[in-house]
Amino acid sequence: MPAAPADPTPARHARNDRLDALRGAAIVWMAVYHFSFDLNHFGWIHQDFYRDPVWTWQRSCIVSLFLFCAGGGQALALRAGQGAARFWRRWAQVAGCALLVSAGSWFMFPRSWISFGVLHGIAVMLVLLRLGLARLPDAVLLALAVAAVAAPWLVQHPVFDTRWTDWTGLVTHKPITEDYVPLLPWLGPMLLGFVVTRARPQLWAGAAPRPLAVLGRWSLSFYMVHQPVLIGALMAVQLLKG
C-alpha cells in the first residue's frame, strides 16, 4: 500500500476558526462573570463569589476553557512549525500582561492583589510545554494531566502557603487573592487541550460563528481592557446617580 500523502492543509497561516470561537465564547462568559463581580463589588447585587457554587463552578469552567484553548493553540502552533522567536514574542506579551494585572490589582485590592492568576499560569505552562512536555507521547501527557488535577488533593504542605511558593498549588488553604490559577491542578486542562488538538487537529477546521472567532483571536487584548472599561462605566454611572 502506498504511503499516505502529506497533509495538504496550509497549516502555517491557516486559522482554526472553531478553536478561536471556543476561546471567544470563554471570553464572553468571562466578561459576564466579571461584570457580575463588579456589580457585587459596587454593592448593586449581593453574591458570595468566593464560596457560592453558582459562581465558583462558573469560574472553574471559564478558566478550564481558557487553558484548554491555550493548550490547543500551542499544539497547532507547533504543527504549523512556529519558530522560537515568534513563540517568545507571544510569550513576552502574555508575561508582560500578567505583570500589569498584578500591578493593577495591587492598586485596587492591596490586600488581595493577584500574584499568580490566569495569565501568570498560562505563561509558566506554555514554557513547560515548549521546552519539554510537548515532546512526550499523548498517553504520557494524559497521565500527567490526571496527575496534575489530583496532586493538590493528595499533596499539601504549609511550605507552599506563601506568595513565593503558592504558584505550585500544593497549598493547605487558598491564598487571599482576587485570582489564583496555580500550576496544579490547572496544568491538566492545558495538557488535555494540547493532546486533543495534536491528535485531532481537524476538529478545529471548518465554519464557526465569525464574531466569536474574531473575538477569540484578540482574547489577550480583550482580557486586558474589559475590566477597566466595565469598572470605569460602573463608576461613571455611580457618580451620575450620586
C-alpha cell at 242: 450620586
> Residue 106 belongs to what domain range?
17-241
> Has residue 180 got a pLDDT over 80?
yes
d(CA 166, CA 173): 10
pLDDT computed for residue 242 by the predictor: 66
Torsion sign over Cα 43, 106, 160, 151: positive
CA atoms within 13 A on the CB side of 150: 7
d(CA 67, CA 119): 10
Residue-wise pLDDT tens digits, 187-203: 999 999 999 999 999 99
Tell me how many domains the chain contains. Answer: 1
pTM of the model: 0.91
Kindly state whether residue 1 falls inside one of the protein's structural domains. Answer: no
With cut-offs at 50, 70 and 90, classify the pLDDT of residue 238.
confident
The conformational region for residue 16 under phi > 0 = left, psi -120 to 50 = alpha, else beta, is beta
Residue-wise pLDDT tens digits, 48-79: 999 999 999 999 999 999 999 999 999 999 99
pLDDT computed for residue 240 by the predictor: 86
Kindly state whether residue 190 falls inside one of the protein's structural domains. Answer: yes
d(CA 211, CA 138): 32
Kindly state whether residue 178 falls inside one of the protein's structural domains. Answer: yes
Residue-wise pLDDT tens digits, 79-133: 999 999 999 999 999 999 999 999 999 988 899 999 999 999 999 999 999 999 9
Amino acid at 42: F
Kindly state whether residue 2 falls inside one of the protein's structural domains. Answer: no
The count of other CB atoms within 10 Å of the CB of residue 38 is 17
Contact between 216 and 24 under an 8 Å Cβ cutoff? The reply is yes
With cut-offs at 50, 70 and 90, classify the pLDDT of residue 18.
very high
Peptide bond into 53 cis (omega under 30): no
Percent pLDDT > 90 in the chain is: 89
d(CA 129, CA 119): 15
Kindly state whether residue 85 falls inside one of the protein's structural domains. Answer: yes
Kindly state whether residue 48 falls inside one of the protein's structural domains. Answer: yes
CB within 8 Å of 160: residues ≥ 6 apart: 166, 168, 169, 170, 171, 172
Q: How far is CA 52 from the centre of its chain?
A: 22
Kindly state whether residue 8 falls inside one of the protein's structural domains. Answer: no
| Burial (CB count within 10 angstroms: exposed 0-12, middle 13-18, buried 19+), residue 222 | middle
Kindly state whether residue 3 falls inside one of the protein's structural domains. Answer: no
Sequence-ordered strand ranges (E) for 47-119: none
pLDDT computed for residue 239 by the predictor: 87
With cut-offs at 50, 70 and 90, classify the pLDDT of residue 5.
very low
> For residue 116, what are the β-bridge partners?
180
> Has residue 2 got a pLDDT over 70?
no
> For residue 180, what are the β-bridge partners?
116
